[in-house]
Amino acid sequence: MKIRRARSSTPPDINFIPLIDVLLVIVIFLVCTTTYVRQSQLKVELPGTQAAQAAQNTEKPLVVKVGADGNYALDGELINSEAVLKTRLEGLLRRMAKPADGRVVIEADATATHQSVVTVMDVLASVGVAKVSIATASTNVRSR
């Protein structure tokens, strides 16, 4: 005797509710265990409006220009060697009211070598200048 199973005409269903429950538990676990601490290596205090106004009222910075040929100019005076540049910088920094606050701007020609700019930076570091800026020209770049 053959026993036949009754065949169901409806296809089997996939129940998504347990899957959704498991995913919600995982999301809740991740939210609870994640730390929202901002880790920072440097503590930076941004200047307020008073500090910004005080920075604008400071004296004019020294300007060191680096030519394409490797020559230097300090406040418009042509200088041929690093030794002369160092002695002139030392003299100018001694005459400044606040030598520790002496700022220097390096204006280098676009075709000047990197070595000549680095040499100027080394000379500035050797005379004790801590604030060095490098001037750049703004260009309007259009994307196509």
Angle separating helix axes 114-126 and 82-95, nearest 10 degrees: 40
79 with 85: CB under 8 angstroms?
Answer: yes
Q: Quick one: pLDDT at residue 24?
A: 96
pLDDT digits (tens, 9 = 90+) for 25-83: 999 998 888 877 666 565 666 656 555 555 555 567 788 888 888 888 887 788 888 88
Check residues 24 and 134 and name the one with the higher pLDDT.
24
Q: Quick one: pLDDT at residue 25?
A: 96
129 with 93: CB under 8 angstroms?
Answer: yes
Please give the structure tokens belonging to residue 37: 């601490």
Whether 82 maps to a domain, the answer reads yes
86 with 36: CB under 8 angstroms?
Answer: no
Task: Assign residue 65 the CATH number of its domain.
Answer: 3.30.420.270
Count structural domains, the chain. 1
Whether 13 maps to a domain, the answer reads no
pLDDT exceeds 60 at position 96: yes
Q: Quick one: pLDDT at residue 89?
A: 85
Q: Quick one: pLDDT at residue 28?
A: 93
Q: Quick one: pLDDT at residue 22?
A: 95
pLDDT exceeds 90 at position 19: yes
Whether 130 maps to a domain, the answer reads yes
Whether 24 maps to a domain, the answer reads no
Q: Quick one: pLDDT at residue 59?
A: 63
Q: Quick one: pLDDT at residue 95?
A: 77
> C-alpha dihedral over 55, 57, 59, 65, to 10 degrees?
60
Structural domain range at position 74: 58-134
pLDDT digits (tens, 9 = 90+) for 45-59: 665 655 555 555 556
Whether 62 maps to a domain, the answer reads yes
* Nearest-5° Cα angle at 82, 79 to 83: 100
Whether 116 maps to a domain, the answer reads yes
Residue 75 backbone class (left: φ over 0; alpha: ψ -120 to 50; beta: rest): left
- Of 54, 66, 76, 61, the closest CA to residue 120 belongs to 66
What whole-number percentage of the chain has pLDDT above 70? Answer: 72
Round the CA-based radius of gyration of the chain to a whole number and report it. 34
